[in-house]
Structure 1
Amino acid sequence: MKVYRFTVYLYLIFGLFFVYDTINKYINGDENYILSLVFAVLAIFMFYFRLRSIKKIEERQNNNK
């Protein structure tokens, strides 16, 4: 279960990277900043979704013991 905890935070790191990329592209006037924004929102959503699902799995394992 430790590996799943690590991969959750990779989603957060990618989300923060894409937020930075979105801001950088928007300031420089690049029109493709929307794609980076979509990836940022998706990565942050996946972070919360995976974190919630891991907590549910751990609770289910603790209840079965």
Structure 2
Amino acid sequence: MNYLKYTQYVYLIFAGFFVYDGVTKFHSEGGPWLSFFIAALAIFMFFFRRKFAKKFENHGNNKP
């Protein structure tokens, strides 16, 4: 389960891609709002997974 520590950073990569996609669509005819929404969702998921991973790690340390 050590890979869970690193998979949360995939969400930041997705967020960066969708921000880039939204900016390029902003200067062209397409609507960028869906890309910005997906980027915001990916950033939210990064922080959610990070909090969950810390809670999961601390849960194992509290047992006597």
Q: TM-score with structure 2 length normalisation?
A: 0.89
Alignment partner of 1:46 is 2:49: no
CA distance in 2, matches of 1:64, 1:11: 31
Runs of 4+ in 1 over 4 A off after TM superposition: none
Equivalent positions of 1:1-65 (< 5 A) are 1-31=1-31, 33-64=32-63
Q: How many residues align?
A: 64
- Name the Cα RMSD after superposition: 1.2
Q: What 5-or-longer segments of structure 2 have no aligned partner?
A: none
Deviation at 1:24, TM superposition (A): 1.0
Q: TM-score with structure 1 length normalisation?
A: 0.88
Q: What 5-or-longer segments of structure 1 have no aligned partner?
A: none
